[in-house]
Structure 1
Amino acid sequence: MEREKILIIDDETDILKVIKAYLEKNNYIVFEADTGKSALQLFENLRPDLIVLDLMLPDMTGEEVCRTIRRESNIPILMLTAKSSEDDMVNGLLIGADDYITKPFSPRELLVRVISLLRRSRIKAVSDQEKSLAFAGNRLSIDQERHEVSVMGKPVSLTPIEFKLLELLARHPKRAFSRLELVNLIQGDSFEGFERTIDVHVKNIRQKIGDDPRHPTFIGTVFGVGYKFQVNPDE
């Protein structure tokens, strides 16, 4: 697995050294920042996997840094601070931190929290990936959770049946489905119509996503059988 990148933001040199040494010993790639401005610049350039953020910085508050990052990213943020009151902790979590640890702290405890946050982040990433699909260099995107389809970033309006059909084919690339299979899988016994109704739905989907029926990129015709999605998802 690729080594994960962690950005530590703290103006106390000794703390930076301790955390950096401990995390590097556990196979993480570590970057340091001692001001809010430099931290935000590193965040933009590096796109780390996790941030350890002190709340007391010389040029801006950790809360400001957290809010700025949260406007564009869901990266895990572990707040590290001498502020130990319940109100401080609650406020830190409310503005977007994922966890909170107070100084003085145990490097081992910090490591455990880092591991836990990164694990949750990986699980969420996998879950999000399973809910959405992208094809042909993100030309076509299908978001199951939002029930949305877009082509080149522009939304496409599909009927519920068209969405179900497109999603079913896309989730099983290269598999040929007969028309009867598609009918049963999409609507089962509630379907009122003939197998050839699938042809009409496919024609409409192709038109809406810009798929040339003579030379389709996405939905291919399997002659004498039915249809298949002929592009694998982007990796």
Structure 2
Amino acid sequence: MQKKILIIDDDIGLCELLSEYLVSEGFLVDTVQDGARGAERAMTEDYSFVVLDVMLPGLNGFEVLSRIRRSSNVAVVMLTARGEEVDRIVGLEMGADDYLPKPFNPRELVARLRAVQRRMQQEPQGGDAAPARLCVGDVELDFGTRTVRASGEPVELTSLEFSVLEALARSAGRVLSREELTRQALGRPFNAFDRSIDVHVSSIRKKLGPLPGGMERIKSVRGIGYLYSHSAQPH
């Protein structure tokens, strides 16, 4: 089945360029140049991906993302101005699945979309014998529905946050480097200037809260990466 993409960007030339390239890669593409209309379409129509520019007239990209996240977990890749790290961090914190700094090669966008798609479709390895769920302390990951519960309560994570948590949970009890975490969860090589993993871990911490005893469940290991402190128990 072809994947539908909604591009929300006021640059008509860029929309045409991306549309032509994405269609050639097998995607179905719609474009909108207005933030409010883009948010409405993203929330009411069945899209697999939204490509969202930060710098939109009127309703900016962050406001559009906020509206989308109120009712939809559609995968969102944000387009940010090169060098504007704060935009990337804010977008990720608000629930974007990934970002690309402008200008970019359309092939890179397709690579990011494919990586998000793989994360969303990822199934446990090992065939029929693979566990459908993974419990790490009071946290339970359901791979069939890609949902998470903490102490029995549902926790809303983005697709990318789920992948980051999954990688940490599968390696619970040992340190996972930023390089490993980036490769496993984001599906791309690690870049020392990319703070995406740190932002996602921070967001996951906030959403899950501390351990029942009050200790932090995901520990930072200075200069290396992160450690999930509980042992994993497959179900």
1:130 is aligned, of 137, 141, 144, to 144
Which residue pairs with 1:74 in the alignment?
A: 73
Partners of 2:29 and 2:15 lie apart in 1 by 10
Which residue pairs with 2:42 in the alignment?
A: 43
Letter aligned with residue 5 of structure 1: K
Which residue pairs with 1:120 in the alignment?
A: 119
Partners of 2:6 and 2:98 lie apart in 1 by 15
Q: TM-score, normalised by structure 2?
A: 0.52
Which residue pairs with 2:25 in the alignment?
A: 26
Partners of 2:94 and 2:149 lie apart in 1 by 26
Q: Does 1:5 align with 2:4?
A: yes
Which residue pairs with 2:96 in the alignment?
A: 97
Letter aligned with residue 16 of structure 1: C
Partners of 1:123 and 1:90 lie apart in 2 by 25
% identical aligned pairs: 36
Letter aligned with residue 15 of structure 2: L
1:99/1:147 Cα in 2 relative to 1: closer, same or farther (>3 Å)?
A: closer
Q: Which whole-Å deviations, capped at 9, do the CAs of 1:185-205 have from their partners, x for residues lacking one?
A: xxxxxxxxxxxxxxxxxxxxx
Residue pair 1:80, 1:103 contacting (<8 A) in 2 also:
yes
1:109/1:147 Cα in 2 relative to 1: closer, same or farther (>3 Å)?
A: same
Which residue pairs with 1:139 in the alignment?
A: none
Matched residue count: 137
1:83/1:66 Cα in 2 relative to 1: closer, same or farther (>3 Å)?
A: farther
Letter aligned with residue 130 of structure 1: G
Partners of 2:148 and 2:83 lie apart in 1 by 42
- Which structure has the larger Rg over C-alpha atoms? 1
**Which 5+ residue runs of structure 1 have no aligned equivalent?**
133-142, 149-235
1:130/1:107 Cα in 2 relative to 1: closer, same or farther (>3 Å)?
A: closer
Alpha-carbon shift at residue 145 of structure 1 (Å): 6.1
SS at match of 1:59: coil
Alpha-carbon shift at residue 131 of structure 1 (Å): 5.6
Letter aligned with residue 44 of structure 1: M
SS at match of 2:71: coil
Which residue pairs with 2:87 in the alignment?
A: 88
Q: CA RMSD in A?
A: 2.8
Residue pair 2:43, 2:72 contacting (<8 A) in 1 also:
no
Alpha-carbon shift at residue 45 of structure 1 (Å): 3.2
Matches within 5 A, 1:1-235: 2-82=1-81, 84-123=83-122, 128=142, 130=144
